[in-house]
Amino acid sequence: MALIELENIYKTYGEDEYTTVALKGVDLTVDNGEFISIMGPSGSGKSTLLNIIGCMDVPTKGVYRLDGVNVTTLRDKELSRIRNQKISFVFQHFALMHHFTVFENVALPLWKRELSKKEIKEKVDHYLEKLGIAHLKKKNVSKLSGGQKQRVAIARAMVAETDIVLADEPTGALDQENGARLMELFCQMNEEGKCIIVITHDEKVASYTKRIVRIVDGQIHSDTKGERQ
């Protein structure tokens, strides 16, 4: 069974003469453990597609099955429950809580789980250590460099231990060296079994992934697989 199954997905924004059809009949199947980049010109529908895959938005038409569950028919509460269980996000501008410490930011996804304080501390410490940012744990995130902030965002995505990690232009605010480090981390997460989907404009970033889906004007233009493109 596929992890992600999109069938004839349409997404329309606005009403009447002000409508934009952002996705026009997208079919996409993604298996467990895939590592995919989504590429395409500005305005082609990449973020719209990622938002639907991430259960942040719902399609206007079509069916989306996530791990066998038709999520298009779910109510908001159910949808957010499934999202928290299955999906983590990494954003271009990190989306961290500015007044919180590194530890508090990484612990965020665990608040909704039924875990003791000790369990949360152990998990967070494990991933801070893994990402080499344990020494920063008491620091306020606003005091960190861009590369450090993105590591905190990755630690937050890892601590949730979800099957799927979605990233919208994750290297966009990083220099080349930090961008490459981030992609190496994604490779490592993928080798550990995570399904990772990255939106990028950068062919170099896409070259780390094993499948490239290109979108043009709301439709899939090409879908190529290979061992590290």
Ligand X SMILES: Nc1ncnc2c1ncn2[C@@H]1O[C@H](COP(=O)(O)OP(=O)(O)OP(=O)(O)O)[C@@H](O)[C@H]1O
The minimum distance between CB 43 and ligand X, in angstroms, equals 4
43 in contact with ligand X (CB under 6 A): yes
Widest Cα–Cα separation across the chain: 56
Measured from the CB atom, is 46 or 156 closer to ligand X?
46
Tell me whether residue 45 or residue 62 sits nearer to ligand X (CB atom).
Answer: 45
**In this complex, which beta carbon is closest to ligand X, that of residue 141 or of residue 168?**
168
Q: Does 6 bind ligand X (CB under 6 A)?
A: no
Question: Residue 39 in contact with residue 220, Cβ under 8 Å?
Answer: no
Is 132 one of the binding residues for ligand X (CB under 6 A)? no
Among 14, 29, 69, 112, binds ligand X (CB under 6 A): 14
The nearest distance, CB 44 to ligand X, in angstroms, is 4
Q: How many residues of this chain interact with ligand X, rule: CB under 6 A?
A: 12
Measured from the Cβ of residue 70, the count of other Cβ atoms closer than 10 Å reads: 12
Residue 45 vs 109, nearer CB to ligand X: 45
The nearer residue to ligand X, 47 or 101, going by C-beta atoms, is 47
Alpha-carbon distances of 150 from 97, 102, 183, 204, 216, rounded to whole Å: 13, 11, 11, 18, 29
For residues 150-172, one letter each, b for 16 or more C-beta atoms within 10 angstroms of the residue's C-beta and e for the rest, the string is bbbbbbbbbbbebbbbbbbbbbb
One-letter amino acid of 146 = G
Sign of the CA dihedral running 220, 222, 224, 229 = negative
> Does position 54 bind ligand X by CB under 6 A?
no
Stretch that binds ligand X, among 39-47, 114-122, 134-142, 173-181 (CB under 6 A): 39-47
198: closest CA among 157, 138, 156, 141? 157
The contact set with ligand X (CB under 6 A) reads 13-14, 20, 22, 40, 42-48
